[in-house]
Structure 1
Amino acid sequence: MPDDRTTAPAATALADHAVTVLLIDDQAMVAEAVRRMLADEPGIVFHFCQDPAKAIQTAERLLPTVILQDLVMPDIDGLTLVKFFRNRPKLKDIPLIVLSTKEEPATKAEAFALGANDYLVKLPDKVELIARIRHHSSGYTNLLQRNEAYRALEESQKALADELARAAEYVISLLPPPLATGDIRTEWSFVPSAQLGGDAFGYHALDEDHFALYLLDVCNHGVGPALLSVQALNVLQNQMLPGVDYRDPSQVLTALNDAFPMERHNNLYFTIWYGVYHTKSRLLRFGNAGHPPALLLTPDGQAVDLIKRNLMIGGMPDIAYKSDSRVVEPGSRLFLFSDGVYEVAPPGGEYWQFSEFRDYMAGLAPAGEIASLLAHVRAMGCRDVLADDFSMVKVIFD
């Protein structure tokens, strides 16, 4: 179902980053002056590198929150060092304040063009220096914490995707194998969406003369709806509803509604199409609980919607569900499906109408219909990973 509900991952505590200053200057006297300016400032850690040849190595070891760098030093040009800093992956985002003895607009412009964040004439006033250090460190700390949050989110999303993949594998393991021989043959396709919906289906003999078939869809997406679909599937497969004649769709739907009230299942409800085929009379009795109709394609080319409208399962207590019936001609093909097989639209376009879906199915050759539909839905939505589960069961009656 297109309705979506997700659970936010647990918040991850972000690391605290102390204000760490690295001064790169060949003059020890300048370093001592800066150290004294910062000595009484709480939360500021000061480091000094006098050898510009060791500046990169020292910065990568300390990972400061701001770098103060002289522009005039022996052996290496200060502007060249700025370029080196910006070419190092671990250092490229650290705020860099260049220090110069002169107020030179051309030098300023070149320093900014190479990646410097600020420019000060040394030695600056203590109040101004501390203000700029804290300002740039705060911005860099915010960047670090944002990146940490993104990494935590990516890890959480990967863990959730792994969990959903395992849940999808579990659901698939419970689905019945296709029936390749006999008077009733089946094919099916179950393609979970990226978030995993609540689709599930099954079919099995109730006795020598009756064959049950059903497909359900729990609202929303995720592990919770998948677990509810598995629970409902288990109830149907093992006929666990007491006092219910599973050959009567109205009894089954009524009992399911009593057994799965949404207030006891995290406000989740589900829709279902349930049918029972009597092999001797070829009579198919069926009922819908908020679910799309099954589509019967007859040998003479008719496309018939099999629907008996009822409220979804779990929505309201004490509902008496009703059923309908139809005789199935030999050679007919019946398709059970969830709304994910036709509620699709091209980017920016309108959703495919059910009548268009019906006409599309009716126009397919009687082989490979499900694969053709899946390819068409993916092409229409311009995506390989679908927005909702794609679930379809084909039943051939000979």
Structure 2
Amino acid sequence: MDRKFIHSRFCPVQTIRSSTEEGFFTVAKFMPGDRNILVGDYYGEVHNFNLDSGNEESNFQAHENYIVHLEPSRNGEYLLTSSTWGRPISALWTLKDYQMKCSFGEEEHVEFSKSVQDKILGTRGEVASIFDFSTGQLVSKFVPSISNQYTKNKATFSHQDDLILSDGVLFDVNSGKQIHKLDKLNQMQSGVFHPNGLEIVSNSEVWDMRTFHLLKTVPALNQCTVSFSPINNVIYASVMEQEMDDGDVKFDSSFKTVDSLDYSSIATIDVKKNIYDLAVNRFDSQVALVENQGMYQSVQESVVRIYDVGRRREEEDEQDEEDDEDDVDRSEDDGSENGDSVFLDLTEDNNENSNNEDDNGSESGSESWTSLSSNGSDESDDSMLDELLMEL
């Protein structure tokens, strides 16, 4: 099926809720295998939910407050977490027993290397740092000669782990040298590598990594956090939180899908709730949205809602009706050969048979009674005649 058709249709299939009324979810990530989902909350806890049952299997206190980032390792054994303040701001945990393996006291964001997960990349302001996964020791730092000073800089590896993009500056990992500085065309985010290895998506701008020329401007991606679908050429984009003049934070209620080949818009999906985070499973068959109503002080609803990709709600309802009709047809067909329909048929036959038996029984009884009565009357007449003859 056409990916644009598929990625314009989303059907809610499951809702995960906190076990407490004051629970306030902030971030979510699918676990490898897609049978569980990890959810971070405003109070620094990480919750592990089973997607088959919807039940919470375990939880642990990772930070002192608001978790803003989760990343499980591909083998499902480790978890990186980041919060907004407190010590440590970021940490590496074992998922088997929730023990802290490494702490990154001042790193505002941490992520695994992509090709081989043997390194951890941390971000502090405009500085990117590589840490050894096994020991947590600092390996190297990358400091731009001229900083773009993005307010939400997140250093990231290329898909081959040979390049780092941080604060709009491209670095060579092996030499540590600065390769190129992209023009600053937004105030918030540095950008991410396209999986094709040829482009960088920085806010709404697409840069060619071979020439460092601006290829395209995509207005639909402006001020959006970008996630590439793992197996399809699609971008999921959700608007980042916006800080208001009065100090409050504003969230958007819609997410977008964009073709990652030509950057054409596919769809905008409004869920009518504030979207705090978006996650895609490894098969691109489901997305998870952290949806909140109200702020943490006066939460009205806080859920993680799971959506099937490629289906709409009305199609699901129609399919359910068709399935119900099919079930009825199948039960009738099957019943003619087994107990269900036989029982109904027998009930009808028994009613008819009982009526027939009543009719036949009364007729039979009448005939038998008449026959017996007439036979008895003949025998009585013969005996009286014999007695008269004997008297004569």
Q: TM-score range by the shorter chain?
A: under 0.3
The structure with the largest helix share of the pair is 1
Which has the higher Rg, Structure 1 or Structure 2? 2
| TM-score, normalised by the number of residues in structure 1 | 0.23
The structure with the largest strand share of the pair is 2
| TM-score, normalised by the number of residues in structure 2 | 0.24
